Amino acid sequence: MLDDLKFIHQRDAQDALGIAEKQWQQLGLDFELGEHNLKPNDIENIVYGGMGGSALAGLLSKSWPGYDWPFEVVRQYHLPKYVGPKTLFIGSSYSGNTEEELSMLAAAEKAGAKIVVISSGGQVSEIAKQKKYPLLVLPNVHQPRFAVLANLKALITILAALGIVNKEKADQELGQAADFLQKSISDWLPTVPQSKNPAKQLAMELAGKSIAVYAGPQMAPAAYKWKISFNENAKNVAWWNELPEFDHNELIGWSGQPHDKPYGIVNLLSNLEDPKILKRFKVAEKLLSGRRPMANTVEAKGNNLLQQLLWLVAFGDFVSLYLALINNVNPTPVDLVERFKQELDT
């Protein structure tokens, strides 16, 4: 099935696999703040507001490049009470019409926060234009989850303007990561047969199962992205968790009945994690032997944190897209989500 290119093209009508193949190009996009001048002396904390795929860049940035300042990703209607004139609020909404984002933007305005917007259009963009907020415009893609790397590059542009990251160094790392992704992705393309394609092989292993994805703190944003991709691309229920928190509650949940559980387990590992985290993966697997399915281990590739993080994100995209084909669904549309939004408006 996964080597049948005719079937793939028929099922993947919007060419999600083609978008995944070219996603490395998003890291080379240029974003402009225009004549706006962000003054770091006027800022004490940063709040990044976004939902679903639009929140991912903020989560990724907590691993790379990381922050010396207080930084929080908010995914709800309301902002923390500390938000005020010394807060930089970064509102990220791909569509620009997400009601939670509009609510957060209004709250940021009411609190007197400094505001920057990342979006491809919609109401959020119109508000930014009317009120002359800095607006970084994302490229057109079919779904927000396909614009994650562009969103990350836009966020890095903001951080560079603030002096939180060195622009020249960040651009160099992003460029190297783009080259690395382009080369890596070539091993996962539809034209590469299943016998040599690790993304197709893992998708086959996970077929017909509910999926749990686990990672340590450094790779946790990638695990969250895998959860999103399985649910939205493959229409296959999945969840995720982070170690060491997993060991303090979820570990014991796996010890109950039935022993033959219909789940697929994926551990995202990195040699850049704390050795204590890697030991926890080994001990958990030992103690859960016979109580849950054996984990599928995915070792992050790359020479540094950014490369490993983005390699995992990209690999997870391909695994989820191939699982969508196995599930006989079109990976791009999220019809139930759209219907849910319509029901909320009635």
**DSSP class of 197:** -
DSSP reduced 3-state for 344 = helix
Q: Give the separation between CA 18 and CA 242, rounded to whole angstroms.
A: 30
How much is the pLDDT for 257?
81
**DSSP class of 42:** G
User: Would you tell me how many other CB atoms lie within 10 Å of the CB of residue 38?
Assistant: 17
Tokens 């491809």 belong to: 120
Question: Does residue 214 carry a pLDDT above 80?
Answer: yes
- For range 39-66, the mean pLDDT: 94
- For residue 293, is the peptide bond before it cis, meaning its omega torsion is within 30 degrees of 0? no
Tokens 């560079």 belong to: 160
Tokens 């303090």 belong to: 248
How much is the pLDDT for 36?
72
pLDDT band at 260 (very low <50, low <70, confident <90, very high): confident
Q: 183-211: per-residue pLDDT in tens?
A: 999 999 999 999 999 999 999 999 999 99
- For range 145-153, the mean pLDDT: 94
Percentage of the chain beyond pLDDT 90 is 87
Question: Does residue 4 carry a pLDDT above 90?
Answer: yes
| E strand map for 171-322 | 210-215, 238-242, 263-269, 296-299
Neighbouring C-alpha atoms within 13 Å toward the C-beta of 333: 9
Q: Name the pTM for this structure.
A: 0.95
Domains present along the chain, CATH in parentheses? 11-180 (3.40.50.10490), 191-326 (3.40.50.10490)
Task: Name all contacts of 285-290 with Cβ < 8 Å and 24+ positions apart.
Answer: 287/251, 288/251, 288/254, 288/255, 290/259
Percentage of the chain beyond pLDDT 70 is 100
Averaged confidence pLDDT in the chain: 95
pLDDT band at 72 (very low <50, low <70, confident <90, very high): very high
User: Would you tell me how many other CB atoms lie within 10 Å of the CB of residue 130?
Assistant: 8
How much is the pLDDT for 167?
93
